[in-house]
Chain A
Amino acid sequence: MTGPILVALLGHWRRNPLQLFTLLAGLALGTALWSGVQAINAEARASYDAAEATLGEGLFPQIVAGDGGSIPLATYVALRRAGWNVSPVIEGNLGPVRVVGVDPLTAPKGIGPVAVEGADLGAFLTGAGQIFAREEVLATLPDTGAALVITPAAAPNTALMDIGLADRLLGRQGRIDRLIVAQIQPSTRRPLAEVAPGLVQSAPQGDSNVARLTESFHLNLTAFGLLAFVVGLFIVHGAIGLAFEQRRPMVRTLRALGVPLGRLILLMALELAVLGLSAGLVGVALGYVVAAALLPDVAATLGGLYGADISGELTLRASWWLSGLAIALGGTGVAAAGSLLSLSRMPLLASAQPRAWVMARQGAGLAVLSLGLLVLSGGLAVWGHGLMVGFAMLGTLLVGGALALPPLLTLVLRLAEGRARDPVAQWFWADTRQQVPALSLALMALLLAMTANVGVSTMVSSFRLTFTGFLDQRLASELYVSARDAEQAAAIVAVAEPRTNAVLPILSVEAQVAGHPVEIYGARDHATYRDNWQLLRAAPGVWDALARGEGVLVNEQLYRRAGRDLGTAVRVAPGLDLPVLGIFGDYGNPVGQVIVNEAVFARQFPDVRALRFGLRLDPAAVDALRQTLRDQAGVADSAMVDQAAIKALSLSVFDRTFTVTTALNILTLAVAGFAMLMSLLTLAAMRLPQVAPVWALGLPRTRLAALDLLRAVVLAALTGALALPLGLGLAWALLAVVNVEAFGWRLPLYLFPMEYLRLGALALLAAVLAALWPAWRLSRMPPAQLLGVFRHER
């Protein structure tokens, strides 16, 4: 019996290749969207992990010099003699490549070549040595005589070697940058302060700095991936639902002929599994192409924004493509479950057409469900805490919003129908309303795509606006100069003082406030700060009070993490507690900051000398001053950064970010548009019984086709009208909830009406493009085909 059933089931696809294509394409595109974003995320994360393993920053405590300088070899030796189980590291740049030198004999497991498989310790240590790096990194290294070992698992843009070789290449003459502290230490060792008073030990950071800084970007990508997934799921759901709807009459006939329901459902499930698997494979391949195309831009963004090294090349990870396939199969399963269920409940004798009034009843159920989800989302926003709650809120908001679409559309269309006077208009609205159930999944996908567009572009643009504004206040000085040592610092001040309006020393130490790592800055009382800094919140007369040393400013991160609101005390140093006078925005900074007056700073940290300076001067004179500093104080070019260059750099970084998000936006929109095309095409065949009578009653085909186009525009416009508030809700959730929970700072939400208009126009365009072909086919449909509706028993 199975044979003939299969022949009948598969015969449907042979007779309707277009439907088969739309089903496969829907599945493949949904999978591609999801796995593309995932691939980018996975690649970037893998790059950090490699960096972390090489550098050990995140895993082990470190010992560094308190003044930020290097550690003499003798100090290291003294520490080891005193019982400390530490391992030295040298870092530096050789051209564009980051050179890391480690000592494999003392390094804890999991670091450096100990982690590199097949490393030959002897060769690594002796003779000309070995250098481990990725192939492209090795190619850029100058010839050192050392053997080059291609190591694909190495961190990007990093060359790993023995500390001796690194010392020779970087010309360090025995000076060490930092010491890795192994987990297990003898209890008999003498205290650090006693052996090496100038050194400080820092706790392991859990994540590397870079990883933490880039979390924000990845969180956004993850949110985007989630959105892409939901859009994809809706598309898959739509494709599967249509595939079932189209075969209802045939299923009914088969059952009437005596095919058992269980057998039929089993065979259809099997058939779908095969289809889902093949479409998933295509989707994963497509996702790979998308990711490979976008990855260089993502890598450049992260590199520019946070100095993170990301390989621009994509590797095919099993976990990734397997998860892509799982999504395709799972999505197919979820989508098919409902259809199979309704098929099993389908009465043997009933109209084969989706029935308008039954659909209306289902609409009421949807409205209740969606309302429930939206209320839940609102409740989570008001009363919830934590990152997971933030994401749950996002999810309920999106799904609730999407489910609200069909009932809302039905409502609006019913209103329009009621107000229509012209019979054609009345039919148009009624007919449009009747199509809502069949189109709803495609429209929901469009809604989510537009929501993602509005939300993500609002977020990125708000970020850009806030960040550039923030750079304007934080980078008020026209030129920033770093000195090698105190001697050069004095020379810089001497050269700069007569040639500038102000020389502002930048003094800082690392400390802890209530267990949180912070940087304490000493600021001179100067108009630069008073005029440019905009505080999120401030006590009255904040700058005067700060100048008198009566309080501190803290950044938003510290305010949120350690609960240091206005008026609460901050322990700047033992015995010195000062109240918070103001809170400033400090976007992208992972650690807390405390700003005190210069005099207070000098009293508390008399040993700290300013090695960095902000110089205020006429922007036109910046180049001349750079020249003078180079000539008279011996400042290297790389130690001078002018404000314009930094701003230009960060703007270009943002433009990269825009390229990525714009590309993803357009991609989602295009996929949603394609989903709509598929639905319209399949619908076109099922719709003939609705169109044919109207045509027979005297509406020309061209008019009907024009109405079909108009319908697509109307539906897209209504969908867009809902997508706007939903997208803004999404942006708000990302900026004000998820961001705060994840990073401790809140970004203000800005509105970009022109951007929304552009997006709206794009969505309308996508809808019109999707409707164009079906409409054209309708305008060309031979009368005989339309008449067939009346002629044949169907």
Chain B
Amino acid sequence: MLLSLRDVTKTYPGAEVSVLQRISLDLESGEMLALTGESGSGKSTLLHLMGGLDTADRGVVALDGVDLTPLDDKGRAALRRGTVGVVFQQFNLIPSLTVGANIAFQARLAGRHDPDRVQRLAQRLGLGDHLAKYPEQLSGGQQQRVAIARTLAPQPRLVLADEPTGNLDEATADTVFALMCELVAETGAGLILVTHSERLATRLGRRLHLRAGQLT
């Protein structure tokens, strides 16, 4: 089992109800899952827990059978470097690095840098001409594709994407979405994709809906 959640509960300080209430979930390698839910239902929160970006109040989040809960800051950081890849809705990129350096960054952190792969990814995502530019010189869709390339460059076992196409128009969103699914499928990683779009959600093998802290 690649990812497994058991009875995960999360309450933000000061909030009366828990965002997530005893959530359980399993995901195999190669499996692709769409996560939907109203705004404010806790999708991002759940994704952050799975990626070791935040910690649950109760319950177990395990990656490859290893429980994340007892890990300290350093341990979780190592996990983010090596095993998980996260694509955010926006402000993904490191503004001070060029597009090329951004794409290679995580792979190099993970010690799995392969220049050829970076080149190939960039070509496939249509970024070949933009490698020397800085993120702010790109359009939103281009930036999102850089973020996807960066996440996939080190071949993570689990890809978590938080509304990666939320800022894009429909046509661009479709292209980016298709490319991402294709590339993830090639690496055989698991994918959890948060989206508001029914259209996109139905295209993935499995889908879950988050409501009132519960998965349905």
Binding site for B on A (CB under 8 A): 351, 353, 355-357, 422-424, 426-427, 430-431, 433-434, 689-690, 692-703, 783-784, 787, 789-791, 793-794
Contact = CB atoms under 8 A, between A and B. Distances in A.
Contacts of B109: 423-424, 697-699
A434 B96 contact: yes
A19 to B, nearest CB: 22
B196 interface: no
Given A696-B53, A702-B73, A790-B88, A427 B105 contact: yes
A431 B77 contact: no
A108 B92 CA distance: 83
Contacts of A694: 94
Given A356-B95, A789-B91, A783 B101 contact: no
Contact of A431 (B96, B104, B108): B96
Nearest to A694: B94
A694 B81 CA distance: 10
B94 A701 contact: no
Given A423-B109, A790-B91, A697 B96 contact: no
B136 A351 contact: yes
A702 B136 contact: no
A699 B110 CA distance: 11
Nearest to A421: B108
Contact of B90 (A434, A697, A701, A790): A790
Given A700-B73, A700-B77, A783 B53 contact: yes
Contact of B95 (A353, A423, A424, A787): A353
A255 B113 CA distance: 46
Contacts of B89: 790-791
Closest 10 interchain pairs by CB?
Answer: A698-B81, A423-B108, A698-B80, A434-B96, A790-B88, A700-B77, A430-B96, A431-B96, A700-B74, A698-B77
Nearest to B78: A698
A355 B136 contact: yes
Nearest to A693: B94
A693 B103 CA distance: 12
A787 B77 contact: no
A776 to B, nearest CB: 15
A791 B44 contact: yes
B48 A434 contact: no
A713 to B, nearest CB: 19
Contact of B162 (A353, A431, A790): A790
Given A698-B78, A698-B79, A698-B110, 11 more contacts: A356-B134, A357-B134, A423-B104, A423-B113, A430-B97, A696-B53, A696-B80, A697-B106, A698-B106, A787-B48, A789-B91
Contacts of B95: 353, 356, 434, 689-690
A431 to B, nearest CB: 5
Residue of B48, B78, B91 with most chain A CB atoms under a 10 A cut-off: B91
Contacts of B113: 423
Contacts of A431: 94, 96
Nearest to B88: A790
B176 interface: no
A351 B140 CA distance: 12
Nearest to A423: B108
A701 B53 CA distance: 12
Nearest to A433: B96
Contacts of B55: 783
Contact of A427 (B74, B86, B96, B136): B96
A426 B97 CA distance: 9
B175 interface: no
A690 to B, nearest CB: 6
Interface string B91-131: 11111110001001110111001000000000000000000
Residue of B51, B82, B92 with most chain A CB atoms under a 10 A cut-off: B92
Residue of A431, A433, A789, A790 with most chain B CB atoms under a 10 A cut-off: A790
Contact of B105 (A356, A423, A700): A423
Residue of B44, B73, B82, B97 with most chain A CB atoms under a 10 A cut-off: B97
Nearest to A692: B91
Number of chain B interface residues as a range: 35 or more
Contacts of B53: 696, 783, 787
A697 B80 contact: yes
Nearest to B98: A430
B97 A427 contact: yes
Nearest to A786: B53
A793 B89 CA distance: 9
A256 B187 CA distance: 46
A690 B88 contact: no
27 contacts: A353-B136, A356-B136, A357-B137, A423-B108, A423-B109, A423-B113, A427-B105, A430-B96, A430-B101, A431-B96, A434-B95, A690-B94, A695-B77, A696-B53, A697-B80, A697-B109, A698-B79, A698-B106, A698-B110, A699-B77, A702-B74, A783-B48, A783-B55, A787-B53, A787-B54, A790-B90, A790-B162
A783 B54 contact: yes
Contacts of A699: 77, 81, 109
B78 to A, nearest CB: 7
Nearest to B12: A784
A433 B97 CA distance: 10
Nearest to A700: B77
A696 B79 CA distance: 10
Contacts of A353: 95, 136
Contacts of A423: 104-105, 108-109, 113
Contacts of A793: 90
A784 B11 CA distance: 12
A693 B93 CA distance: 6
B97 to A, nearest CB: 5
Contacts of A424: 109
Contacts of B94: 427, 430-431, 690, 693-694
Contact of B88 (A355, A696, A702, A703): A696
A350 to B, nearest CB: 10
B42 to A, nearest CB: 12
B127 to A, nearest CB: 17
A791 B91 CA distance: 9
Contacts of A700: 73-74, 76-77
B82 A698 contact: yes
Contacts of A434: 95-96
A794 B90 CA distance: 10
A172 B105 CA distance: 92
B96 A690 contact: yes
A692 B54 CA distance: 13
Nearest to B137: A357
Nearest to A783: B54
A790 B136 contact: no
Contacts of B136: 351, 353, 355-357
Interface in B38-77: 44, 48, 51, 53-55, 73-74, 76-77
Contacts of B104: 423
B60 to A, nearest CB: 19
A416 to B, nearest CB: 13
A436 to B, nearest CB: 11
A698 B96 CA distance: 17
Contacts of A693: 91-94
Contacts of B92: 693, 790
Given A357-B137, A698-B81, A426 B101 contact: yes
Contacts of B162: 790
